[in-house]
Structure 1
């Protein structure tokens, strides 16, 4: 590789890593984003100063860029890398903030020794530069004692981060496993390049590929972060969460054997048997389940299952069953997450019971509000509401409509002679007789006291007179109680044929016809004026 090309790559690397730092700023509220931003910025300084030293006008200027400013980036790359891994993995650590402050503070000593050179040779000495194609490159250098301290510290920080990434790559579930591997492999490249440069294995001046390696590492980490949205999937205290959550978590292999479970799962299976590794899940479940068949057409499914408790009661668990599938589509096993929904089921049952009771109460209140409690036909208020609707409909569409007004003859005498219980019996029998002669669409009502009214939709005045006469005859035949109480009634009939404008007028005409029936001797049917049709003659 030509030296000019190498310098161009360094400057390009500086721009790329600076872009990564700026892009990470957009996600600064996510866990690990700020540490990655510091890492990318340190990488950018590393690459920029390495490239700028080549454009120096003298060896002294080149040394300022290469042996002083460059170490601002070099010193902090390992530190920010370790902080990033610690933050991302959320590895439990006491006084984590103190550890981070210590990590950030140590490189300051390196920078003091690099910039002041108060103790000649303590950091670097015998540094020489060679000019090639008009560019300055370091041709020889000798490390001092503090350089080796700095090197050990840097490699220790990077190695610690790699160990944490290795643990994540091995033990974390997907997608964390793949992401950790991507970060791990990406970090190995600059580490190998730096080992090559530190050992001075190259035979050409200052071709240190560490900066380029860190750029590739930054790109791989950035790809994992932003392409796979790793910052949205930070496994914060994952192990602690699984251990402490109330949901039972059980991991099964393809043979349905238990390979992992949390304390909540052990509690759930306490009455079914000893939950242990290697046991078949169907030995623990109250009834065997065919997981393969259940997930034949879908990768996840929910079911509810009853579990016996040690006290003899039952608990209802909601089981969410999912497959473990690798990115290549290989099925590794199953994941069961069980949640105790007994309380929720009980609450639902209780709620349904309360709703049923409320519906029954509502129906009863509606019945009481709309029906006469004694005769169990509509009361006056509800009748008027229904009748107004029917009257308006009949007027609008010019359909026939009739109304019958009924008053029991000598009802007061029945009450006085036989008592109020007998009077109540008469009223009930009156209602039964009326309902027996009506259609489903007819509207009977106890209008008040011993008065009854019937609205007959789609019924002409002539047809209504026939219905009224049938009711009168049935009442006349009745003999009630031991005293054989004889019952008669006076009936008045009115219809829309009389050019009636409103319901009140229809009621008034039927009422007048009923009183005319009383004046003419009771126990008869009269039609409203002006069409005083005689009722048809009925034979027994």
Structure 2
């Protein structure tokens, strides 16, 4: 009988490692919000099942029972290498794997697993096998078939691919991510090292250390996966909240290496040139803007908000220092918010505060603000300034006969006519009702009067179609300009232009009157 105390003790140790592997699998599943946790959970589950099968194999006493447990091991060990490669790809890419990769990785393991389950009905996997008595428990000896060679090549290939990917990744990354990559790389080479140092089952005293090596590998992977993420429930909940917000969070270490990006940032084209674990690059326009605006050692960095327009969208971002326990700068947190709709709303409110809704000209409030500015400039530079106020003649009759919509169309047409006949330096707006105002910087009396007359004749020539009716309108103009405005203000200048307008109305309409003419008449 082959059953010995050594086999029982060895089986107990292996079962214990299997239980621990199951615990790591369950823990990873409940921490599945961490990138790569699902793949790691499945990987540890396959290791646990393999270890469990091996524990029962070494305590079996007949070739039939040993073969049954070998079949059970085959069902799981065939998938460990491709699942680990998936884990590595998930860790490096930080996003879900495409379905085609699953098909390519698992087509061969599925075939080999099927061959393993039907091992006694063909010679594709093993040409022959037989039972021998070992020092501690019975052993199976076998001669590999064609698919056994395929299995070995596949396992070596996938393991080597994972190791190469990790090696390249850790050489290119920095900071915390590089530490993670180093741990995962060390874990990945452990089964390979064990296979080299421990020969295959060629001696009767063979005790397979692979279950313990795989468990140790799992422990290192769990440290790499979770030690550098969130270790407690509060922090995990906080990070889940961060991943659920629509704002973009970008974390850099003190050496400007990208340490983390939340889900919103990973989905945004804004940070498409950035990769976790790699130095912050300045390929995109937005990345260049961030680097140009951020003074990283500024003590008040968190108080500054920067605005940026990109790809027809508006953004703002703030930066905060991430401090360590010694209150030293450990990194930087960028919070980037798309505020396109807010900017549009603010622009619309600003437009409504400045422009007349009907004519799209400056409204009365903005006209007065601009007049104050131009008068201040004229006083400072001792230059002329002209003010024109015009009022449409008999406009009430247009509203009474054709309706207010027709009146609105007349106002829009007159506003367009005024804009077309002014220079860019001259400022126009709707003063109220059917009145318009024009501010003429550096314009003396004669020049301002000439502008008024040009506008008057242009309005007089207007022909406006109102429901098939062709109507014409005229306007009266009050003009004021003075070379010396010392002591004068906007209210006085507008009042003088309004007095001139009143005189134009009283003396026949459809004419321009210069305020100085009124002064002459009253002298």
Structure of greater Rg: 1
